[in-house]
């Protein structure tokens, strides 16, 4: 079981529906949370992830956890999704998190060497397991992130770093209401974001490594 009291945790996407809730719940358990919005970290820019990690180190001198809750979505059939949208989907949902994990790894390894329990949380979502029509490019971007974390888990555990990938189903946040392109279809009622955030935080505390969609039903 991980003790979050005093842990320094970087939450990227901390103004979003899930990121804000995860950050607040981590703080309630005693963590020192560095909140960074997607705009502030600019995951499309190669320097954004480095800037986000540097902010945590500058504030607290160390890093014990990273939560990547930033993301964008686009809707529409494959022939209608623009190059601009596809580029942003992969830049924000795949390349940005990969770069952020790369930048954070040395600091998290130092945390493990100091006897703490460092972790990384990604939210690839249910589409990583069940690619969805009308969300093909978004599904591919999230599946790419899930594949990366699966391989990175094997590498980083040697350094004492744990990766937790969460794949909740549709959740009642603002993400689907503000796509970068297209219009969201009519979804059935989604998951409660407070409950989803609570399940993710509990998994952090309980040293879990994988949260498939069935863990959120």
Q: 48-61, pLDDT tens digit by residue?
A: 899 999 999 999 99
**How much is the mean pLDDT over the chain?**
94
Q: What angle do CA 145, 15, 7 make, to 5 degrees?
A: 75
Helix pair 136-156, 96-113: axis angle to 10 deg:
20
CATH number of 8-216: 3.40.50.720
Check if the beta carbon of residue 2 is closer than 8 Å to that of residue 117.
Answer: yes
pLDDT digits over 29-75, tens only?
Answer: 999 999 998 666 667 676 789 999 999 999 999 999 999 999 999 99
Mean pLDDT for the stretch of residues 17-24:
96
Q: What pLDDT is recorded for position 185?
A: 87
What's the confidence (pLDDT) of residue 177?
Answer: 87
Return the percentage of the chain with pLDDT > 70, whole number: 96
CA distance 89 to 71: 8
Q: pTM value? A: 0.94
> Which of 187, 190, 174 is closest to 71 using CA atoms?
174
Residues in the chain: 217
Query: Edge-to-edge strand order for the sheet containing 65-68?
Result: 32-36, 8-12, 65-68, 119-123, 162-166, 210-211
Q: What string of DSSP letters covers 92-128?
A: IIIIHHHHHHHHHHHHHHHHHHTT---EEEEE--GGG
In whole angstroms, what separates CA 64 from the centre of its chain? 15
How would residue 2 be classed by pLDDT, with cut points 50, 70 and 90?
confident
């Amino acid at each position: 079981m991980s003790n979050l009291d005093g842990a320094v945790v970087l939450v990227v996407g901390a103004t979003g529906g899930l990121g804000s809730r995860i950050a607040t719940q981590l703080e309630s358990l005693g963590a020192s949370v560095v909140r960074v919005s997607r705009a502030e970290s600019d995951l499309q820019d190669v320097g954004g992830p480095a800037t986000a990690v540097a902010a945590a180190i500058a504030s607290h001198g160390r890093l014990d956890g990273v939560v990547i809750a930033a993301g964008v979505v686009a809707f529409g059939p494959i022939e209608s999704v623009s190059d601009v949208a596809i580029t942003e989907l992969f830049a924000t949902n795949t390349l940005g998190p990969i770069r952020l994990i790369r930048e954070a790894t040395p600091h998290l390894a130092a945390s493990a060497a100091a006897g703490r329990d460092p972790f990384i949380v990604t939210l690839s979502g249910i589409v990583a397991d069940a690619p969805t029509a009308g969300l093909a490019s978004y599904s591919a971007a999230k599946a790419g992130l899930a594949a990366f974390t699966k391989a990175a888990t094997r590498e980083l555990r040697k350094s004492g770093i744990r990766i937790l990938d969460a794949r909740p189903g549709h959740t009642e946040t603002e993400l689907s209401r503000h796509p970068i392109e297209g219009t969201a279809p009519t979804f059935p009622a989604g998951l409660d974001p407070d409950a989803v955030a609570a399940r993710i935080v509990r998994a952090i505390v309980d040293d879990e490594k994988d949260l498939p969609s069935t863990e959120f039903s």
